[in-house]
Amino acid sequence: MTTPYPFSAVVGLDDLRLALLLTSVSPAVGGVLVRGEKGTAKSTVVRALASLLPPVTVVRGCRFACDPAAPDPDCPDGPHAADTPAMYRPATLVELPVGATEDRVVGTLDIQRALADGVKAYEPGLLAAAHRGVLYVDEVNLLPDHLVDLLLDAAAMGRAHVERDGVSVKHAARFLLVGTMNPEEGEPRPQLVDRFGLVVTVAAPRDAGQRAEVVRRRLAYEADPAAFATRFAADEREYAARIAAARAVLPTVVLPDEELDRIARICLAYGVDGMRADIVVARCAVAMAAWHGRDRVTATDVADAARLALPHRRRTDPLDPPGTDEEKLDRALDEAERQAQEEQGGDDPDGGPDGGPDGDGGGPAGGPPPGGPQGDGGGAPAPADDGDGDAPRGSGPAADPAQAGAAFRPRTLRISERGEGGHTGKRSPAYARRGRVVGSRKPVGKLAGAPHLPATLRAALDRNALQETRTPGRRVVEPRDLREAIHVGREANLVLFVVDASGSMAARKRMTLVKTAVLSLLRDAYQRRDRIGMITFRGSDADVVLPPTSSHEVGVMRLAALRTGGRTPLAAGLRAAARTIATERRRDPRRRPLLVVVTDGRATSGPDPLLLAPALAGVSAVVVDCESGPIRLGLARRLAAALRADVMPLEQLEAVAGRVAPAASVERAYRRAA
Distance of alpha carbon 109 from alpha carbon 163, whole angstroms: 10
DSSP state of 254: B
Q: Do 573 and 474 contact (CB within 8 A), yes or no?
A: no
Q: Would residue 276 show up in a list of annotated catalytic residues for this protein? A: yes
Which are the contacts of 239, defined by CB distance < 8 A and separation ≥ 6? 7, 8, 21, 52
Coil, strand or helix: which one is 294? Answer: coil
Catalytic residue among 276, 414, 508, 632: 276
Distance of alpha carbon 378 from alpha carbon 555, whole angstroms: 18
Which are the contacts of 536, defined by CB distance < 8 A and separation ≥ 6? 498, 499, 500, 501, 542, 543, 545, 562, 573
Q: Do 154 and 97 contact (CB within 8 A), yes or no?
A: no
Coil, strand or helix: which one is 467? Answer: helix
Coil, strand or helix: which one is 82? Answer: coil
**Orientation of helix 42-49 relative to helix 14-25, angle to 10°:** 30
For the four alpha carbons of 449, 455, 461 and 464, in that order, the dihedral sign comes to: negative
User: Using CB atoms within 10 A of its CB, is residue 384 exposed (0-12), middle (13-18) or buried (19+)?
Assistant: exposed
* Helix/strand/coil (H/E/C) assignment for every residue in 120-187: CCEECCHHHHCCCCEEEEECHHHCCHHHHHHHHHHHHHCEEEEEECCEEEEEECCCEEEEEECHHHCC
> Nearest Cα to 76, choosing from 118, 131, 28, 33?
131
Catalytic annotation, residues: 276
